[in-house]
Chains A and B, each alone.
Chain A
Amino acid sequence: MKGRGSWKVVLLVFAFTMVFPSAVLAQERLKLSTTTSTENSGLLYALLPPFEKMFNLKVDVIPVGTGKALKLAENGDVDITLVHARSLEDKFVAAGYGVNRRDVMYNDFVLIGPQSDPVGTKSAKKASEAFRLIAQNGATFVSRGDKSGTHTKELAIWKQAGLKPAGKWYLEAGKGMGEVLTMADEKRAYTLTDRGTYLAFAGGKKISLPVLFEGDPILFNPYGIIAVNPAKYPHVNYVKAIALIGWVTSQEGQKIIKGFGRDKFGQPLFRPMAIEDPR
């Protein structure tokens, strides 16, 4: 039995090293909910480390959909939230769940589509006009369909155009931005996307659809950061949440935001909003 005996010992040792060490450093943690597109952009991993070092804590970034990010904050399951859905943010604060909302940055949405641009969106003067061209010609359009910030924006544009999109050409994916981009690329379809995710994908050669329409003010996508109301949830790490808000709206923080993406994509992904021209 000797052979089999030692085999069991090896297994046991292996199992024990695998067993999760419960003595994990009991470090202070700040829970931040945000959207998947924000997390995907990678900005937070450039913006947060100096803050973490300064305050000797870890920020747990939980990437979920916009609705869920706010819901987590509503439930008190996170300490702070960073989203880009102004109307929902305002409702959130009005209902008393959040305090100290600050504008952090904005990026914009762009309309992308097939290189040939069959319906001529390039020549449109407004976003709503471009959308009307797509609907009238029944060109395939992929929608997020998931009540995210992007989806909300898209619906606002349809509303402005006075249209209710429906039909075989209008595909409601119910998925995240990256997946929708992949789908649009596959089908050579039009879709609305935030520039950040677009640059990450196009730059990474994951899709080949070019930007066809941009610049209309309605396409601007502002980001807000809100601390969860300590009056409602006394357990939240309010002090550190405020510190984080202070950081992202500070000179250094805004500077990091301004420069992010430049070396990777040739252009920054976001534009700072708290301080227009940080030094």
Chain B
Amino acid sequence: MEYILYGILKAAELIATLDTEVFSIALFSLQISATATVCASLAGIPLGFLIETQDFWGRRGTITLFNTLMALPTVVVGLLVYSFTSRQGPLGPLQLLFTPKAMVLGQFILATPIIVALTISATHAVDPRVKLTAMTLGAGRVYTALTILAEARFALMAAVIAGFGRVIAEVGCAIMVGGNIRGYTRTMTTAIALETAKGEFGFSLALGFILLAVAFLVNIFFHYLQSRRD
């Protein structure tokens, strides 16, 4: 009991004094996850839109596939990226392993299925008359597509937030492909894993609180957006 209290006090101290190491780790986590989420959105939203609006052989199967990929275990993705970026792997020469780039790649793979799947449902939920109305007003294909996406904007924002939420809190992939290098590839989650193993509860708790705060804010925002869409 005593050491938990000690941990909480230490955590409060680290946060209040804006401890450099704690906050640089926090910032790094946000950067990695934000970058991965942005890339996943740039890829996932158009992809999801096309899957929903175009008819093609195997469409139903593709939708099911993305729904399944949403639940990919992070360590599996970590293993996948590791094997690809390792010297032995096809991307070896790019020297991505144990760098932030590899972490962004892994989190990109984790976030994209979520964004694709939620974009599909968001697009599906848009009133079918939107497309016709845009056409009557002279919009071409691209403008019509943008109009449909605009109508779905709250649901799409929620999709992006969901993707971010998934990756900011993951550790399995980040630790495997990043290597948990101090000052270089250590995120909040991987640092917590390491520091807890070292028994550094104060440090871990500080990071834990910040992570919770981020998750909390993300969740609030997510629910706010969900309520706007209805």
Contacts and interface: CB of A to CB of B under 8 A. Distances in A.
A222 interface: no
Interface stretch (A94-102, A114-122, A171-179): A171-179
A58 B184 contact: yes
B98 A20 contact: no
Contact of A62 (B88, B95, B181): B181
Which label, helix, strand, loop or mixed, suits the secondary structure of the A interface? mixed
Given A20-B32, A201-B199, A77 B181 contact: no
A199 to B, nearest CB: 12
Contact of B100 (A24, A75, A207): A24
Contacts of B116: none
Contact of B197 (A61, A176, A235): A176
B86 A75 contact: yes
Given A60-B179, A181-B199, A200-B198, A19 B98 contact: no
Interface residues of B, number: 29
A83 to B, nearest CB: 16
Interface string A173-190: 001111101100000000
B87 A233 contact: yes
Contacts of B226: none
B75 interface: no
Interface in A29-62: 31, 36, 39-40, 45, 58, 60-62
Contacts of B87: 75-77, 233, 235
Contacts of A264: none
Interface residues of A, number: 35
Contacts of B100: 20, 24
Given A36-B197, A60-B184, A204-B199, 17 more contacts: A15-B34, A15-B38, A20-B32, A20-B34, A20-B100, A31-B179, A36-B194, A40-B198, A62-B179, A62-B180, A62-B181, A64-B179, A76-B87, A77-B98, A176-B197, A177-B197, A182-B199
Interface of B: 3, 30-32, 34-35, 38, 86-88, 93, 95, 97-98, 100, 104, 179-182, 184-185, 194, 196-201
6 contacts: A19-B34, A63-B180, A63-B194, A75-B86, A77-B98, A206-B199
Interface of A: 15, 18-21, 24, 31, 36, 39-40, 45, 58, 60-64, 75-78, 175-179, 181-182, 200-201, 204, 206-207, 233, 235
